[in-house]
Chains A and B, each alone.
Chain A
Amino acid sequence: MMLHRRHFIATAGAAGLLAASSPRLSLAAAGTDRRLVLIVLRGAMDGLGAVVPYADPDYRSVRGTLALAEPGQEGGVLDLDGRFGLHPVLAPLHEWWGQKQLLAVHAIATPYRDRSHFDAQDLLDTGGIRAGDDSGWLNRALARLDGGGKGLGLSLGQGVPLVLRGSVPVASWAPSPLPEPTMDFMDRVAGLYSNDPVLGPALMAGLGVADMANGMDGNKKRDGGKDRLILAETAGRMLSDPAGPRIATLELSGWDTHVGQGTLQGRLPNALGQLAETMVALRTSMQAVWDQTLIAVVTEFGRTIRPNGTGGTDHGTAGVALLAGGALNGGRVLGDWPGLRDDKLFEGRDLAPTTDMRALLKGVLVGHLGLPAADIDRYVFPEAKSVRALPELVRA
């Protein structure tokens, strides 16, 4: 018999070592069937390169060498609604659009108006609470779910991003080729960690999810550059498990396209291709619960409208966010489009923000996870009480 870490959790309590100090991770306390995957694009995606405003009269002149062709032309964008088109490398997601399982919000931004990645990411992760605070909005949202959210949060990767850090214990998982210690050894380590306020809870949370990943068919191990896909596939299977996590985060990097951003080839199409691949892998592996699933794709800010001097774009302001999933009321581009005319730009260089990122995130929490709006105003986004949640994001 394989000795799995989840069994360890179940038996270790009886051994008495863990029960004294650590809350046992309960994997089946979910009061919701809904699944949410938050994909954070680190480095600031160029929204104009992903969801292209090809019908804007100023698009071609301001984008210059970075402009993409019209729909129907070779290498042209894939039309969404006559105004916007998807980058052609996002073709798999264009099919989802046809199924009303994709939605874009354009000219969206957090309240942050400077251009530091690191502060902007902090703000995106904390949900508007000043940088330095160590509690993410998604963790605070978890705490409002039935059962206090224990066992429902999963970070895909070794660490936990700030957006998912906070009072509710969450798990993290990444593929590893290291052999797994025996239950007995882990029991001994747990004994050493029982009084450590950081290592103890981290160990418990890790044990809760490790076996779940290993129990998945094939016990997939690391495979060179394919880690990202293994991550997505395994995550999809864990999220599909009725006793598994409900909310997961995944970070993708490679979006800081200062140089060689490219149109059909280059850094941005590479990154967009990886995003599409990851989302397809998620969908394939969570077919069983796809109808209850929403994927939200966000980034810390947009990039400059005009190319810089080196075939790239610099740090900007508003950008684009995507929602996808079987639960989505999609097939729409939301947000007021401010236009690309000189006098419409933010500080003469960036797409002007017209939608607050927190309106989208609130809309997801209310519409999809069913969190009461009052709880969100009080606990999740206390700085954004006046920001109205985007309505009707989810299928009736």
Chain B
Amino acid sequence: MVMTTAPGTLAAHALSRFGFGAGPGDLDRVKSDPRGWVESQLTPRPLPAIVADHQGSAPRVADMAAARKAKGEVEEMAKKRGREQYRADIAIRTRLAAGSDAPLQERLVQFWSNHFTVSTQRPVIAPLGLAYENEAIRPHILGNFRDMARAAILHPAMLIYLDNAQSIGPDSKAGQKRDKGLNENLGREALELHLLGVDGGYHQDDVRAMALVLTGWTLDEERGTATFAPRRHQPGEKVLLGQRIPESGIAEAAAAIDMLCAHPATANHVAQRLARHFIADNPPPAAVTALAKAFRDSRGDLAHVTATLVKMDAAWAQPLAKMRSPNDFITATLRASAAEIPDDRIVNAMNLLGQMPFAAPSPAGWPDKAADWTGPDAILRRIDWSLAFGQRVGAKLDARSFIDTALGDLADDGLRQAVARAPSPAEALGLVLSSPAFQRR
């Protein structure tokens, strides 16, 4: 293991591992105390204005539901509006991360939002992604995991995405009256992906029990919010991982989620994912164990778990151990260049490089290992895009000073030489963005 010691390298590492890379002035600002800079972000801050001003999910859910009932042109218009809102949201989110003075918090928002994925694989999710993240994830990144899990699993976007809005207890009043019934999707993914993890020791009976617990959680289409409809809820006691969940209607979901959050498998699952994201693709087992312990000891206090993580030597030991995902790469480019890029270009870049926010291919979210992002075509495309970016802004940005802004001591002599010898400003900038040091974090 290589320990990072030089203050310049340590600062660059802090900025890219725990944020989205360095922007103008960041390295100087952070250099005197990189660890302190990271730790200073562990206190919750007020919502960024752009988030507080966001329309939110309720009017959008209501709008879509009304349009669906109206059908025809009204519905088509609503779909179009939804796609426009989606694109605008992506630009908002990316700019927020790129410009934040607490980038660790933005990285945590994106990490947890990916953990509790909702995706435009169901197109109806598109206008809800950012609202979901703002409402269910953001308030809890340094709060309690249990609160985040409740908020995420019972959020309208999740109820729609994983079909729970339509799930009905077979023995409920609604189930007896209509030829409708249970859908296991959210019950299963809550156990497998959000909480216990796939090796968490649950079985098909538990999947069904969790799905039954969640029956009744559906949408109030007029208000656009989540609601509990007792008529749809499966009556009777449920047994989940050997534990009884007594019949209590609306209270069952929270009781089940709380019980699962306290299960040791959930601590291990969360620890593994955090360590993979913040340390290395294959993190040291001791780091995972320590994070799981912090999670258990604090009963899911994410401020404590995150503090444990950022204080760990392992998180500082392997600079550039992680490959930037396309989302991270584009965000880092915006931060480092401080270039004025129109919204559409930001969104198109995400799409071109294969990672539109809130469009993960499955409920498991975006993958988090180098091999998932380094397909040959994906790498060529990043290089193509880097040069195209250089051609657009190269005239305004001197690549030699850009290296110092973006990479500092992470740039080796080879890169500095290549930049010095580049035949045009555009190509010089393209080389910095393409370079291994800028592709990694």
Stretch at the interface among A47-55, A86-94, A115-123: A115-123
- B167: A residues at CB distance < 8 A: 309-310
- B379: A residues at CB distance < 8 A: 199, 202-203, 206
For A306, the closest partner residue in chain B by CB is B181
Given A115-B204, A181-B384, A258-B163, A308 and B376 touching (CB < 8 A)?
no
Stretch at the interface among A168-176, A331-339, A382-390: A168-176
Q: Does A108 contact B (CB under 8 A)?
A: no
Stretch at the interface among B70-78, B255-263, B428-436: B428-436
- Scan residues 179-202 of chain B and give those whose CB is less than 8 A from a CB of chain A: 179-185, 188, 192-193, 198
State whether B183 touches A259 (Cβ < 8 A). yes
Q: Does B408 contact A (CB under 8 A)?
A: no
State whether A209 touches B422 (Cβ < 8 A). no
For A312, the closest partner residue in chain B by CB is B183
State whether B362 touches A43 (Cβ < 8 A). yes
Stretch at the interface among A189-197, A273-281, A362-370: A189-197
State whether A189 touches B375 (Cβ < 8 A). no
Q: Does B423 contact A (CB under 8 A)?
A: yes
Q: Does B377 contact A (CB under 8 A)?
A: yes
State whether B374 touches A310 (Cβ < 8 A). no
State whether A310 touches B183 (Cβ < 8 A). yes
Given A42-B362, A117-B364, A206-B380, A178 and B352 touching (CB < 8 A)?
yes
Stretch at the interface among B38-46, B95-103, B104-112, B365-373: B365-373
- Scan residues 211-257 of chain A and give those whose CB is less than 8 A from a CB of chain B: 253-254, 256
Contact of B352 among A160, A177, A206 (CB under 8 A): A177
Q: Does B415 contact A (CB under 8 A)?
A: yes
Q: Does B121 contact A (CB under 8 A)?
A: yes
Minimum CB–CB distance for A369 against chain B, Å: 22
* Complex CA–CA separation, A118 to B198 (angstroms): 9
State whether B372 touches A159 (Cβ < 8 A). yes
Given A115-B207, A176-B384, A308-B184, A157 and B427 touching (CB < 8 A)?
no
Mark each residue of chain B from 373 to 395: 1 if its CB lies under 8 Å from any CB of chain A, else 0: 11111111101110110000000
State whether B375 touches A157 (Cβ < 8 A). yes
Q: Does B354 contact A (CB under 8 A)?
A: yes
- A43: B residues at CB distance < 8 A: 362
* Complex CA–CA separation, A192 to B379 (angstroms): 13
* Complex CA–CA separation, A191 to B415 (angstroms): 9
Q: Does A343 contact B (CB under 8 A)?
A: no
Mark each residue of chain A from 84 to 115: 1 if its CB lies under 8 Å from any CB of chain B, else 0: 00000000000000000000000000000011
Minimum CB–CB distance for A157 against chain B, Å: 7
For B184, the closest partner residue in chain A by CB is A314
Query: How large, as a class, is the contact surface on chain B?
Result: 35 or more
Minimum CB–CB distance for A20 against chain B, Å: 13
For B387, the closest partner residue in chain A by CB is A181
Given A116-B198, A185-B430, A188-B422, A170 and B376 touching (CB < 8 A)?
yes
Minimum CB–CB distance for B34 against chain A, Å: 25
Q: Does A179 contact B (CB under 8 A)?
A: yes
State whether A178 touches B384 (Cβ < 8 A). yes
State whether A206 touches B377 (Cβ < 8 A). yes
State whether A206 touches B414 (Cβ < 8 A). no
Mark each residue of chain B from 411 to 441: 1 if its CB lies under 8 Å from any CB of chain A, else 0: 0001100100011000100110011100100
Q: Does A129 contact B (CB under 8 A)?
A: no
- B4: A residues at CB distance < 8 A: none
State whether A203 touches B380 (Cβ < 8 A). yes
Q: Does B168 contact A (CB under 8 A)?
A: yes
- A186: B residues at CB distance < 8 A: 383
Q: Does B289 contact A (CB under 8 A)?
A: no
- A42: B residues at CB distance < 8 A: 361-362
Q: Does B240 contact A (CB under 8 A)?
A: no
- B423: A residues at CB distance < 8 A: 184
State whether A207 touches B183 (Cβ < 8 A). no
Interface centre among A65, A170, A259 (most CB of B within 10 A): A259
Query: Which of B's residues lie within 8 Å of A, judged by CB?
Result: 121, 162-163, 166-168, 170, 175, 179-185, 188, 192-193, 198, 204, 207, 323, 352-354, 361-362, 364, 370-381, 383-385, 387-388, 414-415, 418, 422-423, 427, 430-431, 434-436, 439
> Could you list some 15 contacts between A and B, CB below 8 A?
A116-B192, A172-B376, A176-B381, A181-B383, A181-B384, A184-B423, A191-B418, A203-B379, A253-B121, A256-B362, A259-B163, A308-B182, A309-B181, A310-B166, A312-B163
Query: Which of A's residues lie within 8 Å of B, judged by CB?
Result: 42-43, 65, 114-119, 134, 155, 157-160, 165, 170-174, 176-181, 184-186, 188-189, 191-193, 196, 198-199, 202-210, 253-254, 256, 258-259, 308-310, 312, 314-315, 347
Can you name 12 extra interface pairs (CB under 8 A) apart from A160-B371, A188-B418, A189-B434? A42-B362, A155-B375, A157-B375, A159-B377, A176-B352, A192-B435, A199-B374, A210-B377, A308-B182, A309-B167, A309-B180, A312-B183
